[in-house]
C-alpha cells in the first residue's frame, strides 16, 4: 500500500467511506451506493446507523474488481442477452440496462425476491479472447460459420460408431455393421431433434462404405471447411491478430454480423462487441470503423480480387514471400 496523506490515513482508520471515494476518485454518494449494494467487503453500521468499513490491504482491490464485474454484467444485459430462462420462467431482457432493471423485470415476470436477485445480480463477465482465439474465430468467420456451429454439426454424429463402420470389408459387411449400429442407437435417440435422427438414419442406410464416407463428408462439411486452411494461412492470421489485436476484433465482429445477416452498422458493431456506440468510437476511432464497414459491405468476389491484387504487390515478409489468406482475405501486417 502506498503512503497515505494524514487525512486519508485518518479516514481509513475510522472506516469512513471518504477514504474509498478518494482512492477511486468518485463522490462519497457513489461510494455509498457501493456500500448499499454489498460491493464493499467487511462493511458494517455503527450503533448510530452510520456506514463504515473495516479496511485491509486488499479492500480497494476487491472493490475495484467487484465494480468492474458489475459494469461488465450491465453491458452483457444491455447488449448481449435477449432473454433468460430461469427455472422454467422466461424473463425478457430487452430494454434492461442494468442488473437492477433486470431484477425489476424478473419480479414482474413472477419470480420471488430471492429468485429475482439470484437471476439479476450474478456476474456476467465475458473474458477478453486471446489473439490466437481471435485468429481462429476470424478464419471460421471467413468461411461463413462459427466454431460453435461447426461443433454442433459434428456433435449430432456422436452416436455413430465410426471406428467400427470404417473397418467394413465389402458392402455386405458394411450393411451388417450399419444395421447393428442402428439397433444399438435406437435406445439413445430419445430427446434428439428430428433433423439429427433423420441424418443418422440417412448415414446408416447407405449401401456400402464408399457411399457412407461420401455422405459423412457432406454432413461434416461445415467442420471441415476450416481444416482446408494451410499452415501459411494460419500463420498469417496469427501474425495479423498479434500485430493489430484491436483491429482484428473489430474485423471479426463485422464478419459475424454479416454472417448473421443483420444490419451492418456502427451500432451493430457496438452490440456485437458488448459496448456502447460512444465507447466503440473511443476504442477504435471513426476511420477504422468506417473502413471495416466499407470492406465487409463490398461484394465478396470483387473484394477478393481487389484485396489479393493489392496484397500481392505488398511488402515481403521475413521469409521473403508474400502472404495472403485464401479466399476473402484478412489484412496483411507490414513487417
Listing DSSP states for 10-52 in one string gives HHHHHT-HHHHHHHHT--HHHHHHHHHTT-STTEEE-TT--EE
Q: How far is CA 132 from the centre of its chain?
A: 14
- Give the three cell numbers for residue 304: 477478393
Question: Does a structural domain hold residue 201?
Answer: yes
- Among residues 33, 57, 81, the one where a domain terminates is 57
Residue 294 CA to residue 251 CA, distance in Å, equals: 11
pLDDT at 328: 37
Residue 182 CA to residue 87 CA, distance in Å, equals: 35
pLDDT at 185: 81
Among 205, 200, 203, 175, CA closest to 185 = 200
Q: What average pLDDT does range 257-285 have in this prediction? A: 82
pLDDT at 55: 93
Residues 165 and 215 occupy one common structural domain: yes
Question: Does a structural domain hold residue 286?
Answer: no
Question: Does a structural domain hold residue 137?
Answer: no
Q: How many Cβ atoms are within 10 Å of 163's Cβ, its own excluded?
A: 7
Residues 93 and 50 occupy one common structural domain: no
Residues 50 and 83 occupy one common structural domain: no
What residues pair up with 44 in beta bridges, in sequence order?
52
* Residue 149 binned pLDDT confidence (cut-offs 50, 70, 90): low
Residue 199 CA to residue 292 CA, distance in Å, equals: 39
223 CB contacts (<8 Å, ≥6 apart)?
150, 151, 153, 154
Give CA separation, 84 vs 77, 80, 92, in Å: 10, 11, 6
pLDDT at 69: 83
Residues 166 and 193 occupy one common structural domain: yes
CA angle 249–253–255, rounded 5-degree value: 115
Question: Does a structural domain hold residue 202?
Answer: yes
Q: How far is CA 207 from the centre of its chain?
A: 42
Question: Does a structural domain hold residue 139?
Answer: no
Percent of the chain with pLDDT over 70: 77
- Domain extent, residue 13, equals 6-57
Examine the pLDDT at 26 and tell me if it is beyond 50.
Answer: yes
Question: Does a structural domain hold residue 251?
Answer: no
pTM: 0.42
Residues 52 and 98 occupy one common structural domain: no
Residues 53 and 76 occupy one common structural domain: no
Among 259, 273, 301, 304, CA closest to 150 = 259
Higher-pLDDT residue of 41 and 230 is 41
Question: Does a structural domain hold residue 101?
Answer: yes
Residue 331 CA to residue 244 CA, distance in Å, equals: 10
141: left (phi over 0), alpha (psi -120 to 50) or beta: alpha
How many domains is the chain partitioned into structurally?
3
Q: What average pLDDT does range 13-23 have in this prediction? A: 94
* Residue 306 binned pLDDT confidence (cut-offs 50, 70, 90): very low
Residues 112 and 82 occupy one common structural domain: yes
Residues 52 and 90 occupy one common structural domain: no
Question: Does a structural domain hold residue 74?
Answer: yes
Whole-number average pLDDT of the chain = 78
Residues 36 and 83 occupy one common structural domain: no
Q: Which helix (H) or strand (E) holds 171?
A: helix 170-185
Residues 214 and 180 occupy one common structural domain: yes
Residue 255 CA to residue 125 CA, distance in Å, equals: 23
Question: In this predicted model, what pLDDT tens digit does every residue of 192-201 receive, in sequence order?
Answer: 678 788 888 8
- Among residues 175, 190, 219, the one where a domain terminates is 219
* Residue 334 binned pLDDT confidence (cut-offs 50, 70, 90): very low
Strand-strand pairing, 43-45 and 51-53: antiparallel
Among 116, 130, 125, CA closest to 66 = 125
Residues 162 and 208 occupy one common structural domain: yes
Q: What average pLDDT does range 228-242 have in this prediction? A: 74
Residue 311 CA to residue 316 CA, distance in Å, equals: 10
Q: What average pLDDT does range 224-244 have in this prediction? A: 72
Amino acid at each position: 500500500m502506498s503512503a497515505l496523506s494524514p487525512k486519508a490515513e485518518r479516514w481509513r482508520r475510522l472506516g469512513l467511506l471518504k477514504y474509498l471515494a478518494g482512492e477511486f476518485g468518485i463522490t462519497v454518494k457513489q461510494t455509498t451506493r457501493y456500500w448499499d449494494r454489498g460491493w464493499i467487503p467487511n462493511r458494517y453500521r455503527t450503533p448510530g446507523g452510520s456506514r463504515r468499513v473495516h479496511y485491509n490491504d486488499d479492500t480497494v482491490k476487491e472493490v475495484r474488481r467487484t465494480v468492474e464485474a458489475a459494469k461488465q454484467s450491465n453491458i452483457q444485459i444491455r447488449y448481449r442477452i435477449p432473454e433468460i430462462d430461469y427455472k422454467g420462467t422466461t424473463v425478457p431482457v430487452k430494454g434492461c440496462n442494468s442488473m437492477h432493471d433486470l431484477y425489476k423485470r424478473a419480479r414482474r415476470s413472477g419470480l420471488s425476491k430471492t429468485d429475482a436477485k439470484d437471476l439479476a445480480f450474478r456476474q456476467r463477465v465475458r473474458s477478453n479472447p486471446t489473439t490466437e482465439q481471435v485468429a481462429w474465430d476470424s478464419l471460421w468467420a471467413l468461411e461463413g460459420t462459427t466454431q460453435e456451429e461447426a461443433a454442433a454439426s459434428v456433435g449430432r454424429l456422436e452416436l455413430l460408431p465410426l471406428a467400427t463402420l470404417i473397418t467394413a470389408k465389402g458392402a455386405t459387411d458394411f450393411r451388417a455393421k450399419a444395421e447393428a449400429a442402428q439397433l444399438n442407437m435406437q435406445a439413445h435417440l430419445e430427446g434428439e431433434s428430428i433433423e439429427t435422427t433423420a441424418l443418422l438414419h440417412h448415414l446408416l442406410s447407405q449401401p456400402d462404405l464408399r457411399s457412407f464416407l461420401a455422405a459423412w463428408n457432406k454432413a461434416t462439411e461445415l467442420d471441415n471447411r476450416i481444416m482446408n486452411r494451410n499452415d501459411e494461412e494460419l500463420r498469417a492470421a496469427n501474425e495479423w491478430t498479434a500485430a493489430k489485436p484491436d483491429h482484428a476484433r473489430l474485423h471479426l465482429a463485422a464478419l459475424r454480423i454479416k454472417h448473421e445477416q443483420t444490419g451492418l452498422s456502427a451500432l451493430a458493431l457496438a452490440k456485437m462487441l458488448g459496448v456502447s456506440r460512444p465507447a466503440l468510437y473511443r476504442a477504435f476511432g471513426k476511420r477504422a470503423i468506417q473502413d471495416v464497414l466499407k470492406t465487409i459491405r463490398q461484394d465478396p468476389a470483387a473484394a477478393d480480387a481487389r484485396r489479393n491484387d493489392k496484397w500481392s504487390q505488398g511488402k515481403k515478409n521475413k521469409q521473403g514471400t508474400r502472404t495472403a489468406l485464401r479466399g476473402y482475405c484478412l489484412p496483411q501486417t507490414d513487417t
